[in-house]
Amino acid sequence: MIEILHLSKSFKNFKAVSDLNLEINNGQIMGLAGLNGAGKTTTIRAACGIIFPTSGTITVNNFDIVKEKIKASRNIGWVPELPNFEPDARPVPLLKYYAGFYGIKPDEAEKNAIEMMKQFDIYNYRNRKLKYYSQGMKKRFALIAAMIGNPDNYLFDETLNGLDPNGVKEVRDLIINLKKQGKSILLSSHILSELQNVADKIAIVKNGSVVKTLSRDDLMHLGTTGTKIHIKNPDAGMEKILSEFGEFTSDGTYYYIKNNGEVDVSELNRQLVIKNYRVDYISMENETLEDYFLNMVK
């Protein structure tokens, strides 16, 4: 479990995070959404102890990340947006070194490292120096490094960036599996559709503060934006019928009625059909997370 209370972080010329609160429970995925510069990475770096808060507290499994850093850090796996490792290091010795921080014996650490490199499909590159790894391979190695100590909590900072579609699916499946194991996960991503797919909650961050937290139920009912229609034989008469149900627009293919869910779709369809209009698509369209997010952060 990770608890962030009244976190603020100031740098020389600006305040990156201001009075931010988050709670990620065991077996829960918390999505973190925000524009560039909103404070997501600063929050994650503070939560894993890379930087210290200016004020506020962060606890990991009830250990304070500042006052009890060693105990807190042993319960965190962190994958930064741009993994940066010793370029001349080779993967297995480096993973054994990381495992030592968790008290894992060398033989067991090497066995775990090899198994995980096979799982993440980079075992064939085990003798290659990390400076020769592609960005996607570095991301996979960073995931292994974060998991080598089997911590209870994970911080993923834009981990999906730089991955091909298969890599995105693998990481998505991994995160869901970690959740099933009871891990708590904080996932920052610009790919809002992925957050919507996996997150139990999503915190929207603006100017260093959480402006809205959406539950799973909220994500399923973000609001209705209108009715979407496609008609094969449109004309002025058809548009007159649409206007009786509300203000409408068209993108040249589909018509959209702004109605906030108040249109009787079956009645609209009936009136169009009896006037011999061929309706091949009609549906209530819910607001996407992207639409909601952009409206929230203006």
Any idea what the CATH number is for the domain that residue 145 is in? 3.40.50.300
Residue 220 predicted with pLDDT over 80: no
235 and 214 part of one domain: no
The single-letter DSSP state of residue 148 is T
85 and 187 part of one domain: yes
Can you tell me the distance from the alpha carbon of 252 to that of 182, in angstroms, rounded to the nearest whole number?
49
Q: Last residue of a domain, which of 220, 244, 278?
A: 220
10 and 59 part of one domain: yes
170 and 188 part of one domain: yes
pLDDT for the residue numbered 287: 73
201 and 284 part of one domain: no
91 and 164 part of one domain: yes
Is the pLDDT higher at 290 or at 203?
203
Residue 14 predicted with pLDDT over 60: yes
Can you tell me the distance from the alpha carbon of 262 to that of 226, in angstroms, rounded to the nearest whole number?
9
Residue 81 near residue 161, CB atoms below 8 Å = yes
Residue 262 predicted with pLDDT over 80: no
Mean pLDDT of the chain: 91
150 and 50 part of one domain: yes
178 and 232 part of one domain: no
Can you tell me the distance from the alpha carbon of 69 to that of 59, in angstroms, rounded to the nearest whole number?
10
pLDDT above 70 covers a percentage of the chain that reads 98
Task: Please write the tens of the pLDDT for every residue from 139-183.
Answer: 899 999 999 999 999 999 998 887 778 888 888 999 999 999 999
Task: Please write the tens of the pLDDT for every residue from 107-151.
Answer: 999 999 999 999 999 999 999 999 999 888 998 999 999 999 999
Residue 261 predicted with pLDDT over 60: no
Bridge-based pairing of strands 29-33 and 15-24 is: unpaired
Interval 22-34 mean pLDDT = 96
Can you tell me the distance from the alpha carbon of 30 to that of 199, in angstroms, rounded to the nearest whole number?
6
Residue 58 tokens read as 């962060």
Provide the domain count of the chain: 2
Q: Last residue of a domain, which of 200, 220, 240?
A: 220
16 and 164 part of one domain: yes
Can you tell me the distance from the alpha carbon of 256 to that of 21, in angstroms, rounded to the nearest whole number?
39
- Whichever domain contains 269, its CATH number is 3.30.70
199 and 272 part of one domain: no
pLDDT for the residue numbered 61: 96
Q: Last residue of a domain, which of 167, 197, 220?
A: 220
Coil, helix or strand at residue 40: helix
204 and 231 part of one domain: no
pLDDT for the residue numbered 259: 67
185 and 158 part of one domain: yes
In angstroms, what CA-CA distances link 133 with 138, 163, 167, 244? 6, 13, 15, 61
Residue 20 predicted with pLDDT over 70: yes
**Where in the sequence is the domain holding 270, given as residue range(s)?**
224-297
